[in-house]
Structure 1
Amino acid sequence: MTTDGRLLRGERTRTAVLDQALLLATVAGLDGLSLNQVADALGVSKSGLFAHWRSKEALQLAVIDHARAQWTDRVIRPALREPAGVRRLWAVHLSRLRFYEEGVLPGGCFFANAQFEFNARPGVIRDRLAVEMGDWMTFLTRLAADAIALGDLRPEADPARLAYQTESLGVCAVMQAPLMGSASTFGQARRALLEHLLLFATDPTTLPELT
């Protein structure tokens, strides 16, 4: 029981650190993240954090893992409750924009920020971010392909292009919102994808009406 208790406390500490590190990374940048910075924000000793991560790179990789888990929980899972097809593709766009609008992360989007930060910096972190981007684009492309296969979208719709357009609208919205205003920016991102999906929809009633 004592060992189990220590393991539980250790896991709670690790989660608390990663929660804080993820928040800090969206503001200071993933490269600006340090064990000292995280320790100061949490009011704990830096030496205690070394029990979990022996280097800055190890912490950065752990934060990427944590961000992916958060993204899965807050963006992907809600969308997967919708029926397969165009409604699921639309739902993932909505849940993503809602995640941004709720201000869960102070810097907007961890992945968009980190990808921009490391885009021209070869190395382990950039490689890992490329894997994450590849997985996400594969997921969006599969959703679009399912919508075509199920007959929700016309056969001439291109799954990869739909995935690219969906991703582009999400990134553009989260980057512009702080400067241009959240309400109008996220509203435009929703409307733009909805208009595009309706162009290919075999039954427009599967999607919301344009307003």
Structure 2
Amino acid sequence: MAGARIDGRVERGNQSRRLVLGRTMEIASVEGLDGLSIGRIATELGLSKSGVFALFGSKEELQLATVRAARAVFVQRIARPAEEAPPGLGRVWRVCAGYLSYSRERVFPGGCFFTTVAAEFSSRTGPVRDAVAGAREEWIGYVRGVLAGAQAAGELAPDCEVPQLAFELVALLEMANGDSVLHRDHGGYRRAARAIHARLTAAAGAGPVTLPALGPEFA
């Protein structure tokens, strides 16, 4: 019986934590991580300030937990679906198309969460900056990894410089995100998709490739 009560408290705590992080990710994607405070979140969600404090302990930990939660969403929306495709340019394309959809569909109201908070913390120091930088390095490393996988599969030319191509692809993705958020214009997603598709086609190896045609949403 005591175990059931403890389990119930733990589950209620987990539910409250998910509720809080859902809201903090939304706020941070628009206002940045400095827009978060335990008092503000408690008021907006109708929770006690002491209860939110008990879940996180400090503003910094709330910020760090928000970064971790956003990373999980990013992986779920972009990396996981891409892994369903075999290594090759088809997987690279799924990563890029997944990012464009994640931004265009406003999974976070401010567009890409990590673009917002990277700009906010780029010139700072401390644990939050390190967490943001680490998440960004992981993203760039992931793009490089899927490109390297395509190269190993023979679908990317052997002389293709993977770090350079990864830089170009991420730059196009982030430009599309930034244009859409700032100008309320989704045309950049189509232009980025076309440019990425053309770049991958040009970098393809001599053998058969699995790069799909542009879909109607990007044509």
| TM-score normalised over the length of structure 1 | 0.95
Percent identity over paired residues: 39
RMSD: 1.5
Query: Residues 53 and 59 of structure 1 are in contact (CA less than 8 Å); yes or no, is this contact kept in structure 2?
Result: yes
**Match of 2:170?**
167
Query: Residues 198 and 204 of structure 1 are in contact (CA less than 8 Å); yes or no, is this contact kept in structure 2?
Result: no
Counterpart CA distance in 2 for 1:175 and 1:41 is 28
**Match of 1:158?**
161
**Match of 1:207?**
211
Counterpart CA distance in 1 for 2:158 and 2:184 is 37
**Match of 1:40?**
43
Matched, 1:14 2:13: no
Q: How far is 1:205 from its partner?
A: 5.6
Counterpart CA distance in 1 for 2:114 and 2:165 is 20
Helix, strand or coil: the match of 2:54? coil
Deviates further, 117-126 or 57-66: 117-126
Counterpart CA distance in 2 for 1:103 and 1:136 is 19
Counterpart CA distance in 2 for 1:38 and 1:27 is 15
Q: How far is 1:204 from its partner?
A: 6.7
Q: Given the alignment, which residue of 88, 91, 105 partners 2:91?
A: 88
Q: How far is 1:181 from its partner?
A: 4.4
Q: How far is 1:170 from its partner?
A: 1.4
**Match of 1:67?**
70
List gaps (5 residues or longer) in structure 2.
none
| TM-score normalised over the length of structure 2 | 0.91
| Cα displacement string for residues 109-157 of structure 1 (whole angstroms, at most 9, x for unaligned residues) | 1101100001111121111111111111111111111111110011111
Q: How far is 1:206 from its partner?
A: 2.1
Counterpart CA distance in 1 for 2:72 and 2:181 is 25
Counterpart CA distance in 2 for 1:2 and 1:181 is 49
List gaps (5 residues or longer) in structure 1.
none
Matched, 1:103 2:122: no
Deviates further, 69-78 or 195-204: 195-204
Helix, strand or coil: the match of 1:51? helix
Q: How far is 1:208 from its partner?
A: 3.0
Query: Residues 88 and 210 of structure 2 are in contact (CA less than 8 Å); yes or no, is this contact kept in structure 1?
Result: no
